[in-house]
Amino acid sequence: MLLLLEYIFLGIVQGLTEFLPISSTGHLVLFRKLFGLDEIGLLFDTMLHFGTLIAVIVVFWPEIRQLIANPTSKLARLLVVGTIPTAVIGLAFEDYFEEISRTGVTIGWEFLATGVILWTVESMRKGHRQFEQINYTDALIIGTLQGAAILPAISRSGLTIAGSLLRGIDRADAARFSFLLSLPAILGACTLQTVKLTQNPLETASLIPMIVGTFFAAVAGYFAIRWMLRIISTGSMKGFAVYVWILGGIILGLQYLG
């Protein structure tokens, strides 16, 4: 059984890497293998996602409140359009990508690819289209990229923000739309995992450490979103690109030279 500190550690890792453009799944796969934490179960994985869902809701509560009040608004329709390709890709290739995540054999290359994506979009001319100018084509393209980020070490936030920037959307608004689009994706993942839980015996791990880990995922996720919004507005993602390049290089070195 995992120790309390391990639950806290994984919660912080999930919260930070879900919203920073460095891939939460890739980091969790890596740390599970490094520290022998393969016994982590579906229940805790679901709760970690629930923690990051809470973070999105807290940060973007004004927008979410408007969605609840007006579920047919343009933003609501954009999120639906963007979620459709994500759901189709996720459901169609679920078993294949779960196997890749379990083995972790491709995460080194995927970290390198994430770095290339981040560096490339940071080197491009900045767009000026505002949030209100995001259209259904934008949402479809960005949602498709979000679906492609089902690969374990391809960053969801990095790929969706990159897609937004490639569509000429303002940097701050690109990050805002990316995080809002994550809301139905994370909610869908939690729902799917919950359904799977009902089809399997309940895990015997202590609930209290899981709740603690979920709390830290939510707190870390909150600060990661705030930090990422600030970085996108005033800074650069090239530092994240260098980080995942180094990480990917180390992983590949250990795989092929170890």
Mean pLDDT throughout 201-212? 70
The reported pLDDT for the residue numbered 113 is 96
Task: Tell me the whole-structure pTM to 2 decimals.
Answer: 0.90
| 133 or 200, greater pLDDT | 133
Q: What is the 3-state secondary structure (H, E, C) of the chain?
A: CCCHHHHHHHHHHHHHHHHCCCCHHHHHHHHHHHCCCCCCCHHHHHHHHHHHHHHHHHHCHHHHHHHHHCCCCHHHHHHHHHHHHHHHHHHHCHHHHHHHHHHCCCHHHHHHHHHHHHHHHHCCCCCCECHHHCCHHHHHHHHHHHHHCCCCCCCHHHHHHHHHHHCCECHHHHHHHHHHHHHHHHHHHHHHHHHHHHCCCCCCCCHHHHHHHHHHHHHHHHHHHHHHHHHHHHCCCHHHHHHHHHHHHHHHHHHHHC
The reported pLDDT for the residue numbered 43 is 73
Model confidence pLDDT, tens digit, residues 90-120: 889 888 887 887 788 899 999 999 999 999 9
The reported pLDDT for the residue numbered 184 is 94
The reported pLDDT for the residue numbered 126 is 80
Per-residue pLDDT band at 125 (split at 50, 70, 90): confident
Model confidence pLDDT, tens digit, residues 41-65: 667 778 898 999 999 999 999 999 9
The reported pLDDT for the residue numbered 110 is 95
> Quick check: 76 pLDDT over 80?
yes
